[in-house]
Amino acid sequence: MERRGWLRPEVLLPGTFLLAIVVGAGLLLLPPMHHGGVGPTEAIFTATSAVCVTGLAVVDTGTEWTLAGQIVLLVLIQLGGIGIMTFGVLALVLVGKRVGLAHEAAVRDIYTSVMNWRIGQLLAVVLFTTLVCEGAGYVALRLAGEPHWPALFHSISAFCNAGFSVNSDSLQGAGPAVRLVIIALLIVGGLGFVTLIEIGRNLRLRKNGARRFSLHARMVFTSSLVLLGIGTLAYAALEDWDIGNAFFMSASTRTAGFDTVPVGGLRATTLLILMPLMFIGASPGSTGGGIKTTTAAVVWLAARRMLVGGTEVRLHARRISDVVVRRAFAVLFFSIGVVLVTIFLLHLLEGDRPEKLLAYSFEAVSACATVGLSMGITAELTTASKFVLCAAMFIGRVGSLSIFILLVLRESPVSRVRYPEERVLVG
């Protein structure tokens, strides 16, 4: 029987996140939560950015929010991170059951780690994995010299790829050890829960020599390494040859939104390199945003197939289902549309200033991909523009996944009726 109303997965996901934003904004408005510089706009914007694990801020996190306000903010970040991981895994399980059993066994291999688990078991493992990673991050940051509260706050914020920091300059003054721990947390958080399960499973089976990663995991590893390498080399060549700093900015750009240098001071060419990395983002079932690494990989493989000819999209002796290819293109074009509309609205509401095109475009991509990096214009925007960014963060966080789930649930069965073919000129 088809579920109705709020029980439908494509409605439950945005509804849950919207409820968390409303409750969080109400709590942040309370007098004990701030030092007097927060109104409804600031509270709603901050709650949206926290629940959507983005990191864009209109007030300074470390100075404007009291300790109680920072605790509320951290709870919202944690709920957003765990929530998107949980819904992401459930979506993958749903796809595994619908596509894997209905089509070829190669697709089913992607989901063998979790598709037979109970929902309660999934949630328990998500919570356990999150707490272990964040706990390890807290201990490592303490050993690196961070005080108790910043270590806890930054550990949760990094694993959830939120980018919020209690420091006014983010991590620009952090030492190499702190930056290394943050990089490890945001990369692990951005790999995706299904991939983390596969890593743990293969570590357990290592003694028996039964290690084998699914095509999904291999695509995650390969695409993540390629994007990290491209970002690192491009940043180092365009800005400076500090490889450590370049690697941090490359990793943070795709997922977390922490910065070690003022983003507004970067060259325009560097920003143009960073925007596609932000747009792609992290991996499915993770705390990171963007269209996801595997989506970009599938689109790339399909485009290459179209250019060189061939009837199948293949990788590592496996065929990628046409259904998956269509969904990847749907997510890509949906996300491009959201970014373009956001850029248009920002220009329209801010007075159509051509000299701000790059800044508004960077802000729009950062919001839609839930990255959180900014050229320093967020607090200067009008109230209407701030609400546009709120909508962009919300759609960027739950929109693509909701559309993905909707496509899975509403997918029509394969028709045996074939209509006459007719050519259309393109290009």
pLDDT in tens, 66-93: 999 999 999 999 988 887 767 665 655 5
For the ranges 90-94, 110-114, 361-365, the lowest mean pLDDT is seen at 110-114
Q: What are the tens digits of pLDDT across the range 229-255?
A: 999 999 999 998 788 899 999 999 987
Query: What pLDDT is stored for residue 330 in this prediction?
Result: 86
**91 compared with 32, residue with greater pLDDT:** 32
What is the pLDDT averaged over residues 194-208?
Answer: 77
- C-alpha distance across the termini of the chain, in Å: 45
pLDDT reading at 286 higher than 90: no
Q: 175-189 burial, b for 16+ CB within 10 Å, e for fewer?
A: eeebbbbbbbbbbbb
In sequence order, what are the beta bridge partners of 34? 65
**Residue type, position 381, single letter:** L
Query: What pLDDT is stored for residue 409 in this prediction?
Result: 57
Q: 40-51 burial, b for 16+ CB within 10 Å, e for fewer?
A: ebbbbbbbbbbb
**94 compared with 28, residue with greater pLDDT:** 28
Is 397:281 a contact under the CB 8 Å cutoff? Answer: no
Query: What pLDDT is stored for residue 211 in this prediction?
Result: 61
**Residue type, position 148, single letter:** H
Is 258:182 a contact under the CB 8 Å cutoff? Answer: yes
Greatest Cα pair distance, the chain, in angstroms, is: 70
Query: What pLDDT is stored for residue 17 in this prediction?
Result: 86
Q: What are the tens digits of pLDDT across the range 311-329?
A: 788 888 888 888 888 888 9
Query: What pLDDT is stored for residue 213 in this prediction?
Result: 83
Query: What pLDDT is stored for residue 147 in this prediction?
Result: 95
Q: Where are the domains of the chain?
A: 5-409
pLDDT reading at 114 higher than 60: no
pLDDT reading at 294 higher than 50: yes
When pLDDT is cut at 50, 70 and 90, the band that residue 203 belongs to is confident
pLDDT reading at 152 higher than 90: yes
pTM: 0.88
What is the pLDDT averaged over residues 297-305?
Answer: 92
In sequence order, what are the beta bridge partners of 315? 318
